[in-house]
């Protein structure tokens, strides 16, 4: 497995920044607002965006308020019910310990999504910030940031995550998130740097600079809004990639551990029963695939909506 966000790089390398105005600052703001408004109008008519969004809202409600979906306690187990097949009252049956499997699936959404959300937020803040600084200032600042990015890119993502988590020993949501952020920010940094380089010499930025705008104002008010579109696309796809990364690390024994509930743990604990009780593996795998695929489809829809050439 490679860097979770690296797979998205090819889909956004040709994506223009969210505004390419040729006039002054006011014209740039109008163009920028128009691009996002056009993208919003396209997205609300796109089934490839709305269907995944609806699915993710359902999964998100499982993570936020699991009691809306089940009244069963996932840790109330009866060994006598071990691996009992699904029934009307227990639609996912029981796991190998006799716990209600449906409640495990519902409660398992929370750690997977929390890790994905926090890791994505971390790579956007760190990678986006460093990419913005490197692209804007250039020179030795750009050189240092680029070499640091190269160093992290040289470390295989999966191997690095296994090594870090093995050294840490204590593995929970926060340690896994930290490792994913440490190894995953580099793609965002490169994409942001490229977007800033293509935006900082545009006429409206030069006009704002001539009017006396400070560097911080130029970066935050004029360049960042027009360079953030490809980052939004990669961040959306990275959400799904981090959900898959958590499950992969858990499956390999260096991720979350029982009694924590997660889809990765459910898959790990019941893989040996696939031929005998296939539903024990099918249900958590289907939820995992559906979530990852939904984030990818949303990222593709965002890319299409934000790229005028694809309209």
pLDDT at position 26, please? 45
Percent of the chain residues past pLDDT 70, beyond the cut = 88
Say yes or no to pLDDT of 116 above 90. yes
Average pLDDT score over the chain? 86
Q: How far is CA 205 from the centre of its chain?
A: 31
Confidence of residue 20 (pLDDT cuts 50, 70, 90): very low
The mean pLDDT value for 44-62 works out to 94
Confidence of residue 27 (pLDDT cuts 50, 70, 90): very low
Greater confidence, 281 or 38? 281
Greater confidence, 109 or 208? 109
CA nearest neighbour of 15 among 47, 39, 48, 42: 39
pLDDT at position 299, please? 93
The domain spans of the chain are 6-65+110-272+280-310
**270 DSSP assignment:** H
Dihedral sign from CA coordinates of 160, 166, 169, 174? positive
- The domain made up of 6-65+110-272+280-310 has a fold known as MetI-like fold (1.10.3720)
**7 DSSP assignment:** G
50 contacts 44 by C-beta, under 8 angstroms: yes
Say yes or no to pLDDT of 17 above 50. no
Say yes or no to pLDDT of 19 above 80. no
């Amino acid at each position: 497995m490679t860097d979770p966000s690296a797979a998205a790089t090819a889909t956004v390398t040709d994506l223009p920044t969210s505004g390419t105005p040729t006039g002054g600052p006011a014209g740039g703001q109008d163009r920028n607002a128009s691009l996002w408004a056009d993208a919003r109008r396209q997205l609300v008519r796109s089934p490839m965006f709305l269907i995944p969004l609806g699915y993710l809202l359902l999964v998100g409600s499982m993570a936020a308020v699991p009691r809306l979906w089940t009244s069963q306690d996932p840790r109330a187990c009866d060994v006598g019910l071990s691996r009992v097949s699904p029934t009307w009252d227990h639609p996912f049956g029981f796991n190998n310990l006799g716990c209600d499997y449906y409640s495990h699936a519902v409660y398992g959404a929370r750690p997977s999504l929390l890790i994905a959300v926090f890791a994505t937020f971390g790579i956007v803040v760190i990678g986006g910030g460093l990419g913005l600084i490197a692209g804007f200032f250039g020179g030795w600042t750009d050189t240092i940031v680029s070499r640091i990015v190269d160093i992290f890119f040289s470390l295989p993502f999966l191997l690095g995550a296994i090594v870090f988590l093995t050294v840490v020993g204590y593995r929970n949501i926060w340690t896994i998130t930290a490792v994913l952020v440490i190894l995953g920010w580099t793609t965002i940094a490169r994409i942001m740097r490229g977007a800033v380089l293509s935006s900082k010499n545009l006429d409206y930025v030069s006009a704002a600079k001539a009017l006396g705008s400070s560097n911080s104002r130029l970066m935050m008010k004029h360049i960042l809004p027009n360079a953030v579109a490809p980052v939004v696309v990669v961040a959306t796809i990275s959400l799904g990639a981090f959900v898959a990364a958590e499950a992969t690390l858990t499956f390999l024994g260096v991720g979350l551990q029982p009694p924590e509930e997660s889809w990765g743990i459910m898959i790990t604990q019941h893989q040996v029963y696939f031929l005998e009780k296939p539903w024990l593996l099918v249900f958590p795998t289907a939820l995992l695939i559906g979530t990852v695929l939904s984030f990818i489809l949303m990222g593709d829809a965002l890319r299409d909506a934000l790229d005028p050439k694809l309209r």
